[in-house]
Structure 1
Amino acid sequence: MKIYGYGDKFTDGHPRKIIDVLHPGRPNVSKAELKEKLARMYEVKDPNSIFVFKFRTHFGGGKSTGFGLIYDSVENAKKYEPKYRLIRNGLDSKVEKSRKQMKERKNRAKKIRGVKKTKASEAAKKK
């Protein structure tokens, strides 16, 4: 397995990498394995501050391309990363909502337009 990271584009204090992974003879490479390898390559102390996503295997196999974000610390990652990616990497927990709650919120929001939609769904929670 070889990793070619290129594109040191700094956004919000972290390098954004486009990663090409060569994995001949293997169907794919796990994200945990990629994180460990990137941590060794870029001398990152905590592999939890590395996020890899959007990997697509090329036709015929043997090569995959995706994105990687390397943060200075886990705190910076929590500050800038979207919540769904934090949940996928185990840095945040998913809030379980019941089906009925989601449907009630949706139907309340249908009655109101614009910015007031979020306020309507929050107001019902406070009552």
Structure 2
Amino acid sequence: MVDARPMQIGELAERTGLSIRTLRHYDEIGLLRPSARSEGGFRLYTADDESRLLLIRRMKPLGYSLEQMGELLAVVDGLSASPADPVLTARLADIRDEAQRRREDLRRQLAAADEFVSQLEAR
């Protein structure tokens, strides 16, 4: 059963491994806005907000800028509203292709790092 209870910022930070400071920054720049605010003004996040944040977090190791992350989220949001939009579908395919290229670059870097560590261990 999914917990439908809204989370405060500290719980979301703990669940996602990101800092409260990062979450506040994402709110300030519009990357991840809380779904609601408590009567006391505390940010409240939903499971959908958590999923969105995890998508953002998964982009970080691939070297995406905050602007690029925002663009991807706009495409995802647009496709949620209009799943058959050909422009958004094409843009998502472009983003996916770029992510695969970035992943391959990381794979090559990791292989080089493994070789380096092996050489050090052989000495």
Q: Whose strand proportion is higher, 1 or 2?
A: 1
Largest Rg, 1 or 2: 1
TM-score if structure 2 supplies the norm length? Answer: 0.23
Q: Whose helix proportion is higher, 1 or 2?
A: 2
